[in-house]
């Protein structure tokens, strides 16, 4: 049974609720609603009061449980990115050649965007402005992926397998197409069929990955 919270924010254990008590969502639901808020509104416009309204809890719930809105944002982001980071680390450490390693990481990136489309919207917003949150994302997730991948990319460039371009240009060539998975109103105006389903998004992710990876590295060997 979910714990209950009084209108003053004091937690109540299982049992008969007190007057004015409201059930607190479980942790997974709290994080899901938090991601919705941050993705739709952006960090600055997502106030503690707005979070409380969406969660159906008292206005001081976020501070009481997570310490601050900033800590809650990090918890929300970590709940999705830590799992993806473990999978990327496995791909980076796999016993494959450089081209296959680069290909696998790029394909995984688009697949992950299908699994968490709201995260893609949040990241697009955070990547566009200087902030402590961008520092957090870069140091915790971007750099640990690029660090092991850069030597493979440089070897492929030296061998003529990849275009010789600055790393930032290559990075944005890969991440920019994720807009095709999250900017759905524009996609529909460009002809994408409705309704959007998990299967159709997965197919779009695969097509994007093939387009980008094959353009960079050539067709996958059969």
Is-cis flag, bond preceding 195, omega within 30? yes
Strands 4-5 and 22-23: antiparallel
The pLDDT assigned to 90 comes to: 94
Region 143-169 average pLDDT: 94
Backbone angles phi, psi at 23, to 5 degrees: -65, 135
Distance separating alpha carbons of residues 80 and 85, to the nearest angstrom: 9
Helix (H, G, I), strand (E, B) or coil at 145: helix
For residue range 139-154, list pLDDT tens digits in order. Answer: 999 999 999 999 999 9
For residue range 67-123, list pLDDT tens digits in order. Answer: 999 999 999 999 999 989 999 999 999 999 999 999 999 999 999 989 888 998 899
Count of other CB atoms within 10 angstroms of residue 15: 8
Q: Give the predicted TM-score (pTM) of the model.
A: 0.81
With b for 16 or more beta-carbon neighbours within 10 A and e for fewer, the 24-63 pattern comes to: bbeeeebbbbbbbbbbeeebeebeeeebbebbebbeebbe
Strand partners of residue 23? 4
């Amino acid at each position: 049974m979910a714990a209950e919270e009084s209108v003053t924010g004091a937690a109540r254990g299982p049992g008969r609720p007190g007057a004015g008590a409201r059930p607190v969502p479980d942790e997974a639901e709290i994080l899901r609603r938090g991601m919705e808020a941050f993705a739709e509104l952006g960090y600055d416009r997502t106030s503690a009061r707005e979070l409380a309204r969406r969660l159906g809890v008292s206005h001081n719930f976020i501070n009481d449980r997570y310490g601050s809105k900033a800590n809650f944002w990090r918890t929300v982001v970590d709940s999705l990115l830590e799992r993806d980071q473990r999978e990327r680390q496995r791909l980076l450490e796999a016993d494959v050649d450089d081209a296959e390693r680069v290909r696998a990481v790029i394909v995984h990136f688009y697949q992950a965007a299908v699994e968490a489309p709201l995260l893609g919207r949040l990241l697009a917003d955070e990547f566009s402005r200087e902030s402590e949150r961008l520092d957090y994302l870069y140091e915790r997730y971007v750099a640990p992926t690029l660090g092991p991948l850069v030597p493979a990319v440089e070897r492929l460039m030296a061998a003529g397998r990849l275009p010789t371009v600055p790393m930032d240009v290559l990075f944005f060539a890969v991440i920019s197409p994720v807009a095709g998975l999250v900017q759905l109103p524009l996609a529909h105006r460009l002809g994408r069929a409705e309704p959007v389903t998990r299967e159709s998004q997965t197919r779009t992710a695969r097509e994007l990955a093939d387009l980008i990876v094959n353009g960079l590295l050539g067709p996958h060997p059969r």
